[in-house]
Amino acid sequence: MLSEVGEATVLIQPGKVYLVGAGPGHPELLTLKAAELLKTADVIVYDRLIQEEVLALAKVCAERIYMGKPVGKHDSRQAEIDELLVRKAREGKMVVRLKGGDPFLFGRGGEEAEFLAEHDVPFEVIPGVSSALAAPLSAGIAVTHRDAASSVAIVTGHEATKDTSRVDWEALRKLDTLIFLMGVHNIGRISQELIAHGRDPATPAAMIQMAFWPEEKVVTGTLGSIAAEVERAGIGPPATLVVGEVVRLREKLKDSQRDLHPSEGGPRFGSAPMPDQLLRMAMAGLGSQVLGFALSLALFDHLEEWQSATAIARRFDLHAGATAEILDSLVALGLLERAAEGYRNLELASVYLRSEVPQSLRPVLLHQLGQFSRWEAVAAYARSGQPGQVRSGQEASDSDCCECLAGFSAPAVVKRLDLAEKGPVLLLGWGGEAYRAALTRRWPDLALEIRNPLVGSDPLAPPPPNTYGAVVLSGLVARSAQEAELILDASAAALQDDGVLVLHDAFLPAGVLPPEVVLGALGRHLTCRPGGNWSIELLSAALETLGLRDVRAEYLPGGTVIVTSRKVRNGPSQPRKRSQTAAASR
């Protein structure tokens, strides 16, 4: 293939286009072939129904081009996509055209393949799991069943309102299971046509929105009622309609346990930045300061054998608590290991970070770190255990940070809750509107109330006791220990018996922690954050004191933890005059 560059003519080996089905959206439901192509593609052209975790498989230098089609502009947008695929392939690039579901099932993959063939562009089609089958499965509906259905039809919902529709409604009347894709806006017409052609209005029906996505929602009814149910629940595209007796199976199958990993992202999909990686990058400066301070002490020279934090603090005349935090940070950075015996070097530190070893890089690292980092604040904290001064304007930045992180995590927190029967719900602290939106998407009729006692200096006005089925509290760590105790106390008293308390914050989970969590905790102490750091063990003990049981904790992307607990019957119904819980720094 010839390409003109200025006055020269260059021979370019033609590229290839892969029309790839991404399946229903969850990254673990990709085919192995699709995942491998995403890792090697030069260009990825994708639609709006592709999760970020799927795109994260791409190599960092890959060109990602979004070509989602706005409603009503499919034809003009499709022409742009066709031309783009040909142009990129003629640049000698390997192109992945990533489409939700299967590329040849209502995905215009056939049209794109035709266009590529007409323009002599090499192409290959990689199948994907269609939402026509995946969405019912996600909702617990088997589209065929020996006792209920031996035939299935998959129909586009776009044709329902066309006068020249090719949909044979009379033929559909005779089939067992009907699956309509892209039919949300035409659900009323679809129901009317099926009933008009003889389908029983009492036939079970279900609409599944955003299958295998965090926003997945399912509504059920009958052919005669499903349009009203969809409107009442606020179901929007993309959604899949299933009509037939197989919908009754949902009551038996809907609670099956999935082994799919959470779709918020994580290290297994981490070739492009994910939330935790971005936070890790933001904390890299503090990591450099901790490493610079440790190297300036020649700390690694004394950690070839197990040493306790107390022994290290005594050797260098440091504060024991602050020393433990710094050592934990070095553990999170992969330089030390920690056990009951204390801390010691891992191989990386033993070989390169000690002073008197043949491959020591200590002088080089100290020089380079000293050019771009300063660790005076870490050193001062290590010696005294006392934080520095809060910078001017830091309070506003703290508030913005808390609100942003709470809002970012709200969908992931709500996904892990079952509050259908727990109204009214009190949303206490940061991210109230984000929590309201996430909860309303799942349970439109759930009664909600928002309060944020964490803004300003006014004390919390205790909410009415024994009132709420659930309290969701975000932002406890941002307050002083005394304020945090009072808020916890009032939250527990506000719960009804068997009510659920949901806490979301930068609590410290047990075990070896990710660097962004450990460095974040150290950073709060360095910069005079009032609340210190709550460990999960300490928080559990405080909740037990307040009459809360069944304490469960789960680490979330973004360096935060969700902790849930349940109020036992006849638990405290009034806030205590003086809290006996205590928060301590790890």
Candidates 150, 204, 193, 143; CA nearest to 175 is 150
Q: Is 168 a catalytic residue?
A: no
Q: Which DSSP symbol is given to 162?
A: -
Helices (H), ranges, 124-179? 131-138, 169-173
Got the DSSP string for 383-431?
Answer: HH----PPPTTHHHHHHHHHHHHHHHHHHHHHHT---TT--SEEEEETT
The span from the CA of 163 to the CA of 54, in Å, is 39
Q: Which amino acid is at 257?
A: Q
Could you say which of 99, 182, 210, 489 is catalytic?
182
Q: Is 182 a catalytic residue?
A: yes
Could you say which of 47, 82, 102, 489 is catalytic?
47
Candidates 452, 117, 411; CA nearest to 264 is 411
Rg (CA), the chain: 29
Q: Is 47 a catalytic residue?
A: yes
Reading the block at residue 351, the tokens are: 């070989």
**How far from chain centre, in Å, is Cα 153?**
34
Q: Which amino acid is at 551?
A: V
SS3 per-residue string spanning 217-277: EEEEEECCCHHHHHHHHCCCCCEEEEECHHHHHHHHHCCCCCCCCCCCCCHHHCCCCCHHH
Could you say which of 1, 16, 33, 69 is catalytic?
69
Degrees, nearest 5: CA angle 404-410-411: 125
Other Cβ atoms closer than 10 A to 234:
12
Q: Which DSSP symbol is given to 463?
A: P
Strands 123-126 and 16-21: parallel
**With left for phi above 0 and alpha for psi between -120 and 50, is residue 244 left, alpha or beta?**
left
Candidates 40, 145, 147, 38; CA nearest to 98 is 38
**With left for phi above 0 and alpha for psi between -120 and 50, is residue 105 left, alpha or beta?**
beta
The span from the CA of 379 to the CA of 42, in Å, is 46
Q: Which amino acid is at 377?
A: A
Given CA atoms 66, 72, 77, 78 in this order, what sign does their dihedral have?
positive
Q: Catalytic residue positions?
A: 47, 69, 182
